[in-house]
Structure 1
Amino acid sequence: MSKDIRIKKGLDIRLVGEAEKTISEAPRSRTITIRPSDFHLITPKMVVKEGATLQAGDVIFYSKSQEEIKFVSPVAGTITEIKRGARRVITDIVIEADYAGATRDFGALGASASAEAVKARLLEGGVWPFIKQRPYDVVANPTVTPKAIFISGLNTGPLAADLDFVLAGKEAHLQAAVSALATLTSGGVHVSIGASSSIFSGLKDVVTHTVKGPHPAGNVGTLINKTSPINKGETVWTIAAQDLAIIGELLLTGKFSAQRVISVSGSSIKAPKYYKTMIGAEVSTFAYAAGVEGDNNRFISGNVLTGSKVSPEGALGFYATEFVAIPEGDDYEFFGWNKPVFDKISPSRALTFSWMQPNKKYDLDTNTNGEHRAFVVTGNYEEVFPLDIYPMQILKACMVEDLDEMEALGMYEVAPEDFALTEFMCVSKQPHQEIIRKGLDVMYKEIG
């Protein structure tokens, strides 16, 4: 069954450096790094120490508040370092990889398995952290039954990875995952797809929604808002498409596979394309294999709008399926605010001309083109924000921690990524995603 969703509000940001549709094997990463900070509001409780030898799939730590949520090793190897920050908070767990090492076998799970058996296997096998919940955009609470599960099978962001290309050949894994997840909710598994044929179109046990329109049409938040808005007391789960394939592989083979196909793109990459690598792999293994131009670049683990800055010696994030390199914007144009602009994107027609060339690709850097200031009411947010929510009002409610207003404005169904485009458009240079994240944390602490 398919249902159509069409949005008009949004903005397609076309950037130079889109990944060519070829896949190469990235050089093997010597170390794999797991950062507990990737799992928001999770306090890790270590079960192994430095020097411990692991199989792929062995438990490294679990959630202190919910011990059934386990986090496993992506590879076999030896823990060489557990880095700590302020107040001895664990920041990095570094594993020296042994690719010839063994992989823990949890056993295949049959298609007729009960909901309890499915949930137990997902928790035991270490794939539960791939399941996130809204409200709060955190790792899902396994004791709560969601009213529905949502998956985005359409990536509309700038330099986005082509999910149909990345997941080609993974149909059996996807089917196993959605069939198992369908037993965990009475509201069904909902998937957004594009107008053209999708790898998700032929799956059973799903409700597909054909989504049309500019970015953020492909965001899972857009799908939720247009099909099943979240009210107080309700919970939904969300899963990324590549993570869904990992879940399916565990169910079919009994083994946790941390392999990813990531897009390596951006105007600073000489030969942008796709690479097979591992969760937590060293950035240098694929970044320099693709070639990096210039010596003053921003490396981003994840999407260019929502990802995290990493150093050349850093590691790919747990949830990242993209890697982007673009020039650092640490130079400024003299009188740049007072002359016609031809090389930047803007929905405004005041001294800007990108609206005349909607298909042009731009070579943008990280410069914010202005300084931080108080909110300026321009109406730009509403032009690119398709959710039935007032973006500026909810941002202000988060800043003053007005819980009643946050509830009334629809805070339960948003995540920071839903505000990435308004942040890009913001003439006030306000950190929208950070504001929403802090607002969600306040709600989680006060309301739970």
Structure 2
Amino acid sequence: MSKDIKIKKGLTIKLKGEAEKTLSSAPRSRTFAIRPSEFHLITPKMVVREGGEVQAGDTIFYSKNNELIKFVSPVSGTLTKIERGAKRVITEITIEADSQDAFKDFGSLDPKAANAEAIKARLLESGCWPFIMQRPYAVIADTEQEPKAIFISAFSSAPLANDVDFSLRGKEAELQAAVTALSKLTKGQVHVGIDKNGNSPLNGLKDVSIHAVSGPHPAGNVGTQINKISPVNKGEIVWTIAPQDLVIIGELLLTGKFNAERVIALSGSEVKAPKYYRTRIGSEVATFLYDSGLNDEDGRVINGDVLTGRKISPKGHLGFYNNVVTVIPEGDDYELFGWNKPVFNKMSTSRALTFSWLSPNKKYDLNTNTNGEHRAFVVTGVYEEVFPLDMYPMQMLKACMVKDLDEMEALGMYEVAPEDFALTEFVCVSKQPHQQIIRNGLDLMYKEIG
């Protein structure tokens, strides 16, 4: 039974360069890379040395603090390089891929017949556990604790985001296997948020509670849906998982293979022919980036969407959790008297000198320029206009900045993740790094409270 959720506060940012609904297979990547920094608070302990051969699904490293949490190779090949940074911290692991993948066979597992212990053991053994994130703290789920519920957002409302309905087309069997398995890992429900105006492959699945969600961004954020369905209080834990990761888990259970396939939306105004590509976790971005062509070789390549993604080199690799690569103009130019003249080609929540409010359906070609410098934190009330969670965003940010743990707890810090503050960062007149502030606050709570 569907339960509607309507979000009123927020901001839909319309940009040029939406990916066309056509799917191509990206050329085979020569190398694949895994960055331990993507797994927050995980210290890697290597299992394979340089020169070692691996199959797809073989363990490459595990968490030093919890040996049960393993990270596996997305392809078969040879581990050619382990890059290290300051204090010999591992920054990147590179695998030179074989021409065809050889898979480690974990054996199939019937999610209907298997018990929770067997399912959990299979997810840990196969390297699928890192797909499961937990709140509080927005980190990989604790293997020793049971969540009160599991949340899956089956659509994204972010600018130029991957159309989940399109990406998951034809994967109903894998999705059903995954959600059936996950339903046995919690005494609560598996909540799935779908686009009310879409045609989600997850709609109609068994063992889930479907919620039809509508409204502006961040309606598609899983944190928004958690807040409206079952907020996280002190002492409670919920798990979250991305829909494309469900497909990997489902295929593992049905076939016994860890198939790290991804459907990527290559989008942005600097892409000549934005569309969808089938590739693998950790592949070279250039394999599909230059296949579509770029309008400007100096554009900003972002691993993720424009609000929460990370800048990478065009020769970089796809992130472990990413399903979209965005290319937009680099904001390295300056406008003479740009602060003192009417603006028609930029989007703003303010009506001061900007006229985007006159054209609500207009699509913009925005660059990375912040249109201002870092300055004192001022109270404007603009955060509350785009923040749909039942919280006080300004007070929470300030509590994190002054490291007031009691205030952070009282304001509901257990429920949020950095991505929940991406919009407030976008509209911030003070140019404060909201997502980093929240990340630092969560890390402090994890260290001091646990």
Please give the TM-score of this superposition, normalised by the length of structure 2: 0.99
Show the 5 A alignment for 1:272-421.
Answer: 272-421=274-423
Residue 160 of structure 1 corresponds to which residue in structure 2? 161
Q: Which amino acid aligns with 1:204?
A: K
Find the aligned partners of 1:161 and 1:259 in 2 and give their Cα distance: 15
Find the aligned partners of 2:55 and 2:447 in 1 and give their Cα distance: 36
After superposing the two structures, state which structure 1 stretch, 347-356 or 174-183, moved more. 347-356
Find the aligned partners of 1:152 and 1:297 in 2 and give their Cα distance: 30
- Are 1:257 and 2:259 matched, yes or no? yes
Instruction: Select the residue among 232, 237, 240 that pairs with 1:238.
Output: 240
Residue 196 of structure 2 corresponds to which residue in structure 1? 195
**Deviation digits for residues 395-445 of structure 1, max 9, x if unmatched?**
011111110000000100000000001111111100000110011001111
Residue 447 of structure 1 corresponds to which residue in structure 2? 449
User: Would the aligned equivalents of 1:75 and 1:99 in 2 still touch at CA under 8 Å?
Assistant: no
Show the 5 A alignment for 1:85-164.
Answer: 85-110=85-110, 111-164=112-165
Find the aligned partners of 1:350 and 1:100 in 2 and give their Cα distance: 57
Residue 187 of structure 2 corresponds to which residue in structure 1? 186
Residue 250 of structure 2 corresponds to which residue in structure 1? 248
**Deviation digits for residues 315-357 of structure 1, max 9, x if unmatched?**
1110000000001101111111111111111121122111111
| Offset, 1:101 | 4.0
Please give the TM-score of this superposition, normalised by the length of structure 1: 0.99
After superposing the two structures, state which structure 1 stretch, 195-204 or 270-279, moved more. 195-204
Find the aligned partners of 1:11 and 1:90 in 2 and give their Cα distance: 38
Find the aligned partners of 2:107 and 2:91 in 1 and give their Cα distance: 32
| Offset, 1:375 | 1.1
Find the aligned partners of 2:409 and 2:64 in 1 and give their Cα distance: 28
Aligned to 1:168, the other structure's residue is in SS state coil
Show the 5 A alignment for 1:194-213.
Answer: 194-196=195-197, 197-213=199-215
User: Would the aligned equivalents of 1:9 and 1:383 in 2 still touch at CA under 8 Å?
Assistant: yes
**Structure 1 ranges of 4+ moved more than 3 A:** none
Q: Which amino acid aligns with 2:56?
A: A
Residue 9 of structure 1 corresponds to which residue in structure 2? 9
Identity level (%): 72
| Offset, 1:377 | 1.2
Gapped runs of 5+ residues in structure 2? none
Residue 37 of structure 1 corresponds to which residue in structure 2? 37
Gapped runs of 5+ residues in structure 1? none
Find the aligned partners of 2:102 and 2:355 in 1 and give their Cα distance: 57
Find the aligned partners of 1:436 and 1:392 in 2 and give their Cα distance: 11
Residue 437 of structure 1 corresponds to which residue in structure 2? 439
| Offset, 1:374 | 1.1
| Offset, 1:384 | 0.3
| Offset, 1:296 | 2.0
User: Would the aligned equivalents of 1:269 and 1:291 in 2 still touch at CA under 8 Å?
Assistant: yes
Aligned to 1:164, the other structure's residue is in SS state helix
Find the aligned partners of 1:101 and 1:341 in 2 and give their Cα distance: 52
RMSD: 0.8
Instruction: Select the residue among 197, 210, 229 that pairs with 1:227.
Output: 229
Find the aligned partners of 2:358 and 2:245 in 1 and give their Cα distance: 39
Show the 5 A alignment for 1:25-64.
Answer: 25-64=25-64
Q: Which amino acid aligns with 1:245?
A: V
Q: Which amino acid aligns with 2:258?
A: F
**Deviation digits for residues 49-71 of structure 1, max 9, x if unmatched?**
00000011000000010110000
Aligned to 1:71, the other structure's residue is in SS state strand
Aligned to 2:3, the other structure's residue is in SS state strand
Find the aligned partners of 1:173 and 1:99 in 2 and give their Cα distance: 26
Count of residues paired in the alignment: 448
- Are 1:18 and 2:18 matched, yes or no? yes
**Deviation digits for residues 8-58 of structure 1, max 9, x if unmatched?**
100000000000000111111100000000100000000110000001100
**Deviation digits for residues 183-217 of structure 1, max 9, x if unmatched?**
00011100111113321111110001111110000
